[in-house]
Amino acid sequence: MTKLLFVHGINNQGGSAKAIKSDWAQWIVAGLSKAGLPTSPPSDVRAAFYGDLLARATEVRSSNPQSGVAEMGPIDREFTSKAVASLYVEVQNIVGLSDEVVQGYNETNIAPMGDGIHKSWLKAIARALEDTLPSQGKYLARVFLPQASAYLDSTTLRRQIDSLVREQIFQDLTTDVPVVIVSHSLGTIVSYSILRELGEKVRCPLFLTLGSPLGIEIVKQCLHPIRKRPEGVKLWVNGSDLKDFVALHPKLDADTFGSNDIENITSIQNNNDDRHSIEGYLQNTSIAQTLADTFSDKKASI
């Protein structure tokens, strides 16, 4: 019987695999119902959970308790690493913040470039995001950038999280057991890395990535240099809301990811304040139809 595997993303500290299994299954059923499809609850589900490990490694602190602007996590040196700097500057450029705007939030007169990017410049980017993008800037500044930075900046942390997820949901699976993988946010990076590592050792009729930051340049630099659909994956579908501030490059294709082996659904509109919400993605009728088609092909029920 086909197994359904869930891999969560950022901002899940304090949760659990049990809660993710329950919530995600409930939202999938809601999406199936909205699409007029059979709504049998998923019966063979595994969920990974690494939220607390990521949160501990990030060590998000407030540089200003009143504004809530996040520090750069575990980085306490004067200049930031290339990985962290690249992530912040790419976000700055994509959302259209000029250096002049960012400088207005800078507490120092240190230039953005030099031996690297000074931490004060990154804090200025975070403050500018909060002020200029009221509906999404706080999430970018306080959650996405610090947690993504921690994962991308530490090879040790990446290996810990990838190993934990692999052990939690892939252990003991063989090619005799097909798996459908539903991943979200940072979890799309984790899942992709594991699937590339496993290759043909896993049989995956559908790899579903939702709200994915895989198109971000520094993310791609942390992945295998040849980026393509993993060998064990039959179909890769990437879903994004064009207003999802984490899916900075909503469409994954030859231009943004280096591969044309990915089907993209970019017409999703999450009807809530958080356009990055996994709840909104899983209740989308196009995503529900994709899941239903896959399970129907495999004579499995969800």
pLDDT in tens, 225-234: 788 999 999 9
Asked whether the beta carbons of 59 and 75 are under 8 A apart, the reply is no
> Is residue 275 domain-resident?
yes
Same domain, 26 and 69: no
Same domain, 124 and 12: no
> Is residue 182 domain-resident?
yes
State which of 128, 153, 178 marks the end of a domain. 153
Same domain, 92 and 144: yes
In this prediction, residue 78 carries a pLDDT of 66
Same domain, 241 and 101: no
Same domain, 35 and 176: yes
User: Can you give the CATH number for the domain in which 14 is found?
Assistant: 3.40.50.1820
In this prediction, residue 115 carries a pLDDT of 53
Same domain, 215 and 291: yes
Segment 261-290 mean pLDDT: 92
Using pLDDT thresholds of 50, 70 and 90, give the confidence band for residue 298.
Answer: very low
3-7 and 262-268 beta bridge pairing = unpaired
Q: How many domains are contained in the chain?
A: 2
Residues near 96 by beta carbon (within 8 Å), at least 6 away in sequence: none
Q: Which domain holds residue 131?
A: 61-153
State which of 153, 178, 206 marks the end of a domain. 153
Instruction: Give yes or no for residue 189 having a pLDDT over 80.
Output: yes
Same domain, 36 and 113: no
CA dist list (Å): 220 to 123, 178, 216, 224: 24, 27, 6, 8
| Predicted structure pTM score | 0.88
In this prediction, residue 68 carries a pLDDT of 34
Closest by CA to 228, choosing from 205, 250, 195, 251, is 195
pLDDT in tens, 144-168: 999 999 999 889 999 999 999 999 9
> Is residue 302 domain-resident?
no
Same domain, 195 and 255: yes
Instruction: Give yes or no for residue 1 having a pLDDT over 50.
Output: yes
Same domain, 87 and 170: no
Same domain, 214 and 277: yes
Using pLDDT thresholds of 50, 70 and 90, give the confidence band for residue 41.
Answer: low
Same domain, 98 and 239: no
Instruction: Please give the full DSSP string across 102-129, using - where no structure is assigned.
Output: HHTT-SS---S-SSS-BHHHHHHHHHHH
Same domain, 130 and 230: no
